[in-house]
Structure 1
């Protein structure tokens, strides 16, 4: 399990994506609610695509 701060964009978002792809439970922490929801959607979609390809 990992808590990633600044997860709505930039390095935090990339780090959260990488952890999710590696099957880590990720908690996103961000100040901007809408951007964090969008980031969450992208992370979930990318994780599912990664698992379909393997």
Structure 2
């Protein structure tokens, strides 16, 4: 996953508006608030609640 660190400072979880943290191993962005994980496909974060899931 090749995301600009400045991007992570700007984008927020669409469900609760909290910050997102990169999970490099899972290729996801995980919300620090509600815990939803959003996929990153081809280095593009997919910030759709319908595509998110709660990590196990």
- The structure where strand makes up a greater share of residues is 2
TM-score by length of 1: 0.23
TM-score by length of 2: 0.23
The higher radius of gyration belongs to 1
Question: Which structure is richer in relative contact order (CA contacts within 8 A, separation 6 or more)?
Answer: 1
- The structure where helix makes up a greater share of residues is 1
